């Protein structure tokens, strides 16, 4: 599905930047639309994409929020209608600010995202503490439109901003013993009032196998919709692992630890029979209490709206080789 779009959008000299609306002249818009309609006519592109081309719409969000410049990476621009900014920032799971979907947006104002540093520890040749602003300069920022599928059965389509996590891993120089990587959220009851209740073991922890973490899709994420992350979405830095259920995408990270052993994970600690370490999106493996075969796209909640089929690996088939020979019913 991606190739069609790449063909019709003007390439910049480095071959990867898509133009921002402000850089597109009316004539280019006209011509690309014409090409696009031709593509539609030959049936090589999904019709929903037409809405998208009409402009990478000017994102209108939080008044006064810090903009975050990024070049769109065409290899990762999912062609689906993006979730409304309002929905993506008011319907959240971030238990550190409450278990209700509306609470993170209401309560996350107490989170202080500057100064902020991340420590890189464990099986690395270069353990270090990185200030958030230097971390943001480690690699060029890219915009990538990913689908996020929550284990609860809903999904969103969000334009994230960040760079492949592999850039940071490379800088840390993992030792030969580093087989896994663990991510730890901030723990501070003052800033995160939800941590006063023992709904999960704090701090929230998650982990990936080293080869998963090094997959180019795994995104160290600093922004969304053209701006820095709102607090409720995991400011100032989180990961997005789009082929896994949303809970693997840890928010507000303060520590990244490389290890020999598979790390513990917050949801596995809470309910091991329901949430495994891998947690790949998989329509064929039901949650013990509900089916995972379909999903509700946030923003499409009419009474007559049909649910969408959930795709294996959330549609990111390129990760399949990571699990070759593994029984994904066993390693759920």
Ligand X SMILES: Nc1nc2c(c(=O)[nH]1)N[C@H]1C(S)=C(S)[C@@H](COP(=O)(O)O)O[C@H]1N2
Q: Interface residues for Mo ion in 140-159 (CB under 5 A)?
A: 150
**Would you say 36 or 91 has its CB closer to ligand X?**
91
Contact status: 247 vs Mo ion (CB under 5 A): yes
Q: Interface residues for ligand X in 169-188 (CB under 6 A)?
A: 185
Contact status: 92 vs ligand X (CB under 6 A): yes
Contact status: 74 vs Mo ion (CB under 5 A): no
Cβ count within 10 A of residue 196 = 10
- Dihedral, CA atoms, 181, 141, 235, 90, nearest 10 degrees? -110
Residue 300 assigned ligand-binding role:
no
Distances (CA, A) of 78 to 48, 75, 104, 143: 11, 8, 27, 11
Task: Provide the H-helix boundaries in the chain.
Answer: 2-8, 26-41, 48-53, 85-90, 103-107, 132-136, 166-172, 210-213, 266-270
Distance CA 47, CA 61 (A): 26
**Would you say 98 or 246 has its CB closer to Mo ion?**
246
Contact status: 144 vs ligand X (CB under 6 A): no
250 binds, among ligand X, Mo ion, none (CB under 5 to 8 A by kind): ligand X
**Residue 112, CB-side half-sphere exposure with 13 Å CA sphere:** 9
Q: Mask: binding to Mo ion, 106-145, rule CB under 5 A, as x and -?
A: ----------------------------------------
Cβ count within 10 A of residue 229 = 26
Taking only Cα atoms into account, the Rg of the chain, rounded to an integer number of angstroms, comes to 20
Distance CA 294, CA 153 (A): 7
Q: Interface residues for ligand X in 226-265 (CB under 6 A)?
A: 233-234, 246-247, 249-252
Distance CA 92, CA 89 (A): 7
Of the residues 73, 83, 89, 93, which one makes contact with Mo ion according to CB under 5 A? 93
Q: Detail the residues annotated as belonging to a binding site.
A: 92, 95-96, 150, 185, 233, 238, 249-251
Binding site for Mo ion (CB under 5 A): 93, 150, 246-247
Binding site for ligand X (CB under 6 A): 92-96, 148, 150, 185, 204, 233-234, 246-247, 249-252
Q: Detail the residues annotated as belonging to a binding site for Mo-molybdopterin.
A: 92, 95-96, 150, 185, 233, 238, 249-251
């Amino acid at each position: 599905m991606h190739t069609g779009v790449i063909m019709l959008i003007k390439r910049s000299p480095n071959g990867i930047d898509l133009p921002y609306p402000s850089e597109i002249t009316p004539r280019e818009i006209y011509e690309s639309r014409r090409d696009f309609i031709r593509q539609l006519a030959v049936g090589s592109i999904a019709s929903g994409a037409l809405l998208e081309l009409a402009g990478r719409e000017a994102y209108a969000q939080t008044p006064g929020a810090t903009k975050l410049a990024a070049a769109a990476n065409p290899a990762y621009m999912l062609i689906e209608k993006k979730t409304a900014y309002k929905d993506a920032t008011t319907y959240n799971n971030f238990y550190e600010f409450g278990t209700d979907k509306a609470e993170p947006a209401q309560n996350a104002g107490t989170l202080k995202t500057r100064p902020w540093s991340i420590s890189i520890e464990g099986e690395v040749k270069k353990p270090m503490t990185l200030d958030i602003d230097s971390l943001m300069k480690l690699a060029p920022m890219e915009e990538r439109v990913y689908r996020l599928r929550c284990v609860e059965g809903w999904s969103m389509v969000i334009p994230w901003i960040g760079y492949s996590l592999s850039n940071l891993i490379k800088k840390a120089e993992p030792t030969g013993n580093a087989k896994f990587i663990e991510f730890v959220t901030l723990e501070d009851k003052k800033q995160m009032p939800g941590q006063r209740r023992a709904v999960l073991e704090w701090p929230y922890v998650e982990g990936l196998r080293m080869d998963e973490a090094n997959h180019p899709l795994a995104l160290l994420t600093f922004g969304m919709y053209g701006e820095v992350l709102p607090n409720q979405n995991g400011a100032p830095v989180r990961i997005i692992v789009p082929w896994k259920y949303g809970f693997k995408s840890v928010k507000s990270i303060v520590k990244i630890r490389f290890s020999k052993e598979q790390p513990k994970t917050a949801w596995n600690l809470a309910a091991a029979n329901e949430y495994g370490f891998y947690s790949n999106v998989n329509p064929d493996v039901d949650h013990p209490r509900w089916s995972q075969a379909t999903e509700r796209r946030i923003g499409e909640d009419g009474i007559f709206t049909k649910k969408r089929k959930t795709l294996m690996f959330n549609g990111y088939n390129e990760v399949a080789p990571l699990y070759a020979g593994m029984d994904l019913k066993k390693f759920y």
